[in-house]
Amino acid sequence: MADSDDEYVYDEVSGEWRPASEMAQASGPEVTDSQGTVLADGDSVTLIKDLKVKGANQTLKRGTVIKSIRLTDDPDLVDCRHDAIKGLVLRTEFLRKR
């Protein structure tokens, strides 16, 4: 029997309770910004370059703050929300954690 001090996490993929240390290793690659800082869901980021947004005829200026990002399955992309643009996905190479 396992020690009572071990933490277990429910794995939705397999439907089993697994040790937290095992789940941490299986979480996949870390998502990092342009400077190598690790990003997490809910972080605020700043744009480091002016970006033209396809389909919106708008440019996001350098220094624009994007709040509450969401990580995706791809470590190079994050989902964002901006006042003027819905469904915005940005590459992490153009972001810096705030």
**CATH superfamily placement of domain 30-97:** SH3 Domains (2.30.30.40)
Q: How confident is the model at residue 1 (pLDDT cuts 50, 70, 90)?
A: very low
Of 35, 53, 34, the C-alpha closest to 92 is 34
Torsion of CA 46, 81, 27, 39, to 10 degrees: 10
Using the CB atoms, write b or e for 39-78: b if 16+ within 10 Å.
Answer: beeebebebeeebeeeeeeeebeeeeebeebebeeeeeeb
For residue 17, pLDDT beyond 90: no
Identify the pLDDT of residue 50: 96
Q: Is this prediction's pTM over 0.75?
A: no
